[in-house]
Structure 1
Amino acid sequence: MVNTGQPSRACDPCKERHTKCDERRPQCSRCKKAGRKCTGYKDDFDINLRNETHIVARRVRARETHFQSLQTSLPIPYEQQAIALFFENFVLETIDAGYSRGFLAGLSPSLRTARADSLLSITVEAIGLCFLAKSMVNESIASRAVRGYARSLSRLQTTLRHEIDCISSETMISVYLMGLYEIMMPPKKDLHPWLAHLNGLTAIMKARNKETGLCFPGLGFLGAPDSALDRSSRNIDQKTPVNRWVVDDSNHDKETVYTECVTGRALNSSPVANGPWIHASLDDLVLRAQTILQAAPSLLESSHPEATANVERLLVAAHSQLSSFRDWPSGIHDHCQPKTISHHVDASEVSQLDVFPGKVDIYPNLYVAGVWNTYRTTLLRLCDVIAQCGMYLETDTMPFRETEEYQTLRTIASKTAEDICSSVAYHINNDWVQRITGASLQRSPKALGGLFLMWPLYAGSVLSIVPDIHRAWMRRKLRSIGVSMGLAQAVVLADTVDLRRSTDPFKPLIIAQGHVFMWSATMF
């Protein structure tokens, strides 16, 4: 029982009407004048022991409602909204270390310990504002993002002069985030400004590895029996985990972009003996393929007297790698194999569809899906290089496009491109896939799924070995991802695709660097 304040001694009718009572007895003047019966007054005992709990409770509820309305009316700073939105869309924690890796999983703990004016804090705020501006289409926030990014670049220059800070994990994450910022913002001068940050990240990692002797994990997937590769050139180390690189300073001839970025040094991948088989990781296969893929453009464009002989050697090497790549999926555990859950059939114009006609695949997690598409993209590029070599060496009596080999390459490319298309729904339309399957899938940040699809879709749309129907759909989907997910670079890539021409020999190099950039984030 609660009673508060000065008690009212008015008669009951006046209390009900909330009118002033003169408290005359036996009846008040107001009741007498109004011609109504005055029911009298309460005695002092009832007044002193009155129960006003319900009145107090009503007042408390009114105050709480008023306070809540004040709280909701207070604006949340854009910086807080931006950082929360960025984490929601791009940061993925590692759930099962045996079958997955996170994406920028180390950003949250690093940010918690970083100073408010540190390079990492400034960079995260800038990229968060950038993504928020793209989401809200707000020029004012975009201007704040640009100013924050300029401040971040200035702070980076200061950090790079410091002997220890320049190779710290926070610096590497910051440089990576700057590259991601450039992918979100439409380029004004350079077509691919994020490449500058990729090169910077490479330099930092090389310096860090030289200083600390650390090595970084690759994709960490074991593959098919590697009978086609030269086993005598491999270093077998039974003590090495299957998802780790082994650094070998004596071998310094693999100066590829992929090698330098993912490991920071020239290296040998060390496959692990498993009974009578020697398994090669996808890391190893991709590294070996990069030597061929990077050499192809200059050799195919060369007018050197020995150009034909060089192209013939390139063709033999590409055939060997293609054989190894085609065997790789058979060595993958069932848990990591894609599973077809639906077949989507639509008779309308294919290039205008959101889901490509055919199967829809799901994966254990986004990391596994990304590894598969890295494999598929490299396989497509190998097929395309073989086709270009064949056409380079063709004769008038036997056009390469009329050979059985070319038709086989087209069949491989068609199936591989369809596999990439069938993974799109899982990457960016998780809710739709769950409705179709009724299964509970691991939730992945939506924009991150779009980022993982950028380079496979770009590869499929620029390589002429891929059927035109797949190329057109991939190009449209790539542009759609750029517009809907705030990834301006995807729009730039889609707009540079010319479906009427054959493969541009230098565009596939952008594909390789894009995959390097994507996988670099799994190290942090």
Structure 2
Amino acid sequence: MVYRGKPSTACDRCRGRRLKCDRVRPSCSQCIRAQVDCPGYRDTAELSFRDQSEEVIRKAQAKHRARRSPGTETINQQLDRKAISLDVVLSSPPEELAKGYFFTHFGGGHMPYLLDLTRNQDNAPINAALTAAGLAALSNLRMSPQLMLNARRHYTVALSRTNHALQDTVLARRDETLAAVVLLGMFEIITCSDGSFADRWVKHMDGAAQLIELRGLQQVERSAGLHLFTQLRAQIVLSRIYQERYCSPILAQLTEEAPKYRDPNYRTIDRLGILVIKLSTLCAAVKDGTIQQPTDIIRRSLSLDADFMSTLLAIPPTWAYSTVEVPHSEGGSRMHSVWGTRFHIYRNLTISSAWNNYRSARLVIHELIITAAKSLQHSSNMNTRNEQESLILQSERTCHQIVEDICASVPFHLGATAGDADACGGIAASPTGAGGITVVWPLLIAANSGFASPTLRNWVTDCLDKIGHSLGINQALAVAQLLRNGMRTRSFASVDSSEDLYQCYRDY
């Protein structure tokens, strides 16, 4: 992994003509002036690091051949690429390898703000947190206790520096500090070893929510701030739904402000964000008794579900996904990485994750409807009983379809492309850490929805094992173990929310 320097952020047309580009979205001023369609901008995070493993291995092999003696020919022929690659890798500083690995497999398009925020920030908490997360992932992959010990040293440094920043009203509002908080959470995801990860995750989300509220409306005006807010909002609201707690009004206010500064193709994310926040309010109101009558719960749930469906009807073309049918192999079996007969291909992880957030929310809505409708089935009114039975059947069909769609998104998150449908026995793909992390929770939600068969739960467990072992994400292994132990509820997270921000990160 090599750092290639800061790439140009100009659009393709300006870069080719060496024009000064103002990088305005969706079209820069130069393209507007020339009355042409702006071709868009590159992902600079992916361009800044280049994997040179093949080139380094080739040079190492050539050097090795030049040095060998006639009597060692047979031994030299037994050296494979993997052994040479490992020698080359181990000769590099572990911290630099860790950063490069994290940028390549977890950063890039999923965390585009990382490269700019970590540049020239040697003593900031973000760099220590980045190194810790990268070392932890490498440690899991190599099963190296020494690397994990090094990772925890950097984690301790990052935690100390983050605590220091949180006590300063200026530093606490900086994007670098919030990004460090995100990376500390990533470290916990990568290293968790038991079922208590849910409590730690909720505690982390409580602290992140307080920090977002402290940062104010200005955060969404900056590209990095908007990315950070969007990434954390989805997790914060999910934690509120599963704890049946209210979201802060400030979170809703920021969500309504965000579309002003977002690419028009992605404003659907904020419209869905508002609806998911409303769902958290509904869940909290049902729990605390503000909404008690089953008919009221059904009415509000149906209205919210209609809003979700209306929002998805207005999505831009870039949000559409394609469905790939999986052919039968000669033996009659299908790819074990695919559930059923099909899988989805999306434009990018941002869109596929947004779809799964939408599906997860609708799954909760229809669970509310089914529970409320079943409580009315003992009504003496025959028409009422028939209506409730029809409603329950309709919601159950919807839930089954949602679970199927979540499962159909998994191959894409694990690196599948449309061409992989021709491969028999498995998807020949290169999964990334970002793809693995973003699909763990949707898989858990689908498996625990009550609409997953024992066979599907086993398939989900296998997928989580694959994510954990091949990507070094221990949270996936912990979730898989919870499913094996028979967990069948979404009310698995419960922590004391009275902690303040400093306490949250001191103990995290």
TM-score scaled by length of structure 2: 0.65
- Unaligned runs of 5+ residues in structure 2 are 1-61, 68-83, 234-242, 261-267, 424-428, 496-508
Q: 1:220 to 1:170 in 2, by over 3 A?
A: closer
Q: What is the correspondence of 1:185-224 to structure 2 with a 5 Å cutoff?
A: 185-187=191-193, 190-192=196-198, 193-209=200-216, 217=226
Give the Cα–Cα distance (whole angstroms) in 1 for the partners of residues 387 and 142 of structure 2: 49
The amino acid of 2:204's aligned partner reads: H
Q: Which of 424, 433, 439 is the aligned partner of 2:410? A: 424
Which piece of structure 1 moves more, 332-341 or 412-421? 332-341
CA spacing shift, 1:296–1:136, aligned 2, 3 Å: farther
Give the secondary-structure state (helix, strand or coil) at the position aligned to 2:344: strand
Q: Distance in 1 between matches of 2:220 and 2:321?
A: 37
Letter in 1 for 2:166: L
| 1:203 CA drift (Å) | 1.6
Equivalent AA in structure 2 for residue 409 of structure 1 = S
SS of match in other structure, 1:360: strand
Name the counterpart of 1:179. Answer: 185
RMSD: 4.2
Cα pair distance change 1:84/1:396, threshold 3 Å: same
Equivalent residue number for residue 366 of structure 1: 349
Instruction: Tell me the equivalent position of 1:109.
Output: 116
Closer/same/farther in 2, CA of residues 269 and 111 from structure 1, 3 Å limit = closer
Output aligned runs, 1:2-41, within 5 Å.
Answer: none
Corresponding position of 1:315: 298
* Distance in 1 separating the partners of 2:350 and 2:341: 23
Residue 198 of structure 1 deviates from its aligned partner by 2.2
More divergent stretch after superposition (263-272 vs 378-387): 263-272
Structure 2 SS opposite 1:340: strand
**Could you tell me how far apart the structure 2 residues matched to 1:219 and 1:182 are?**
18
Partner SS for 1:463:
coil
User: Within 2, Cα distance between the matches of 1:412 and 1:343?
Assistant: 23
CA contact (8 A) 2:220 2:254 kept: no
CA contact (8 A) 1:209 1:265 kept: no
Task: State the alpha-carbon separation in 1 of the partners of residues 430 and 339 from structure 2.
Answer: 21
Identify if the C-alpha distance between structure 1 residues 479 and 403 changes in structure 2 by more than 3 Å, giving closer, same or farther.
farther
| Alignment partner, residue 374 of structure 2 | 391
Q: What corresponds to 1:488 in structure 2?
A: 474
Shift of 1:489: 1.7
Residues 268 and 133 (structure 1), Cα distance of their counterparts in 2 relative to 1, 3 Å cut? closer
Q: Please give the alpha-carbon distance, in whole angstroms, between the structure 2 residues aligned to 1:505 and 1:312.
A: 23
**Which of 391, 399, 414 matches 2:400?**
414
Q: CA deviation at 1:129?
A: 0.8
* C-alpha spacing 1:473/1:390, structure 2 compared with 1 (3 Å): farther
Aligned in 2, Cα 1:63/1:150: closer, same or farther, shift over 3 Å?
closer
Pick closer, same or farther for the CA change 1:78–1:206 going to 2, 3 Å.
same
1:424 to partner: Cα distance: 1.1
- Mapped to 2, the partners of 1:256 and 1:506 lie a distance apart of 9
Residues 123 and 148 of structure 1 are in contact (CA less than 8 Å); yes or no, is this contact kept in structure 2?
Answer: yes
More deviation in 366-375 or 352-361? 352-361
Instruction: Give the Å deviation of 1:344.
Output: 4.9
CA distance in 2, matches of 1:363, 1:74: 36
Task: Tell me the equivalent position of 2:272.
Answer: 282
> How far does residue 80 in structure 1 lie from its aligned partner after superposition?
1.3
Instruction: State the match for 2:421 in structure 1.
Output: 436
Give the Cα–Cα distance (whole angstroms) in 1 for the partners of residues 438 and 256 of structure 2. 24
Q: Which residue of 2 aligns with 1:446?
A: 432
Percentage identity across paired residues of the two chains: 21
Give the direction of change, closer, same or farther, for the CA distance of 1:91–1:220 in structure 2 (3 Å limit).
closer
1:477 pairs with 2:463: yes
CA contact (8 A) 1:458 1:478 kept: no
Deviation at 1:142, TM superposition (A): 0.8
Residue type of the alignment partner of 1:123 = A
CA separation of 1:158 and 1:417: change in aligned 2, threshold 3 A? same
Query: Counterpart amino acid of 1:269?
Result: E
Q: Is the 8 A contact 2:245 2:284 kept in 1?
A: no
Indicate conservation of the 8 Å contact 2:137/2:472, yes or no.
yes
Counterpart Cα distance in 2 of 1:146 and 1:400: 59
Q: Which amino acid aligns with 1:150?
A: T
2:256 is aligned to 269
Between the two proteins, the alignment pairs up a number of residues equal to 385
Q: Deviations over 1:299-355 (max 9, x none)?
A: 5xxxxxx98x444322211111122223333222333211112235589899x9321
Question: For residue 473 of structure 1, what is the amino acid of its counterpart?
Answer: W
> Which of 154, 162, 172 in structure 1 is aligned with 2:160?
154
Q: Which has the higher helix share?
A: 2
2:194–2:478 CA contact under 8 A, matched in 1: no
Larger Rg: 1 or 2? 1
- Contact 1:414 1:467 (C-alpha < 8 Å) held by counterparts: no
Match of 2:283 in 1: 293
Conserved in 2, the CA contact under 8 Å of 1:345 and 1:357? no
Is contact 1:180-1:194 (8 Å) kept?
A: no
- After superposition, the Cα gap between the structure-2 partners of 1:477 and 1:444, relative to the gap in structure 1 and judged at 3 Å, is closer
Deviations 1:338-381 (A, max 9, x none): 1112235589899x932111212111112111111111111111
The 1:467/1:217 distance shift into structure 2, 3 A limit, reads farther
Distance 1:258 1:433, change over 3 A: farther
Which residue is equivalent to 2:447?
461
Indicate if the aligned counterparts of 2:321 and 2:345 stay in contact, CA closer than 8 A: yes
Conservation of the 8 A alpha-carbon contact between 1:88 and 1:445: no
| Cα distance change on mapping 1:174 and 1:412 into 2, 3 Å | same
Supply the distance in 2 between the matched residues of 1:484 and 1:72 (Cα, whole angstroms): 21
Give the 3 Å change call, closer, same or farther, for CA 354–315 of structure 1 in structure 2.
same
Q: Is the 8 A contact 1:420 1:457 kept in 2?
A: yes
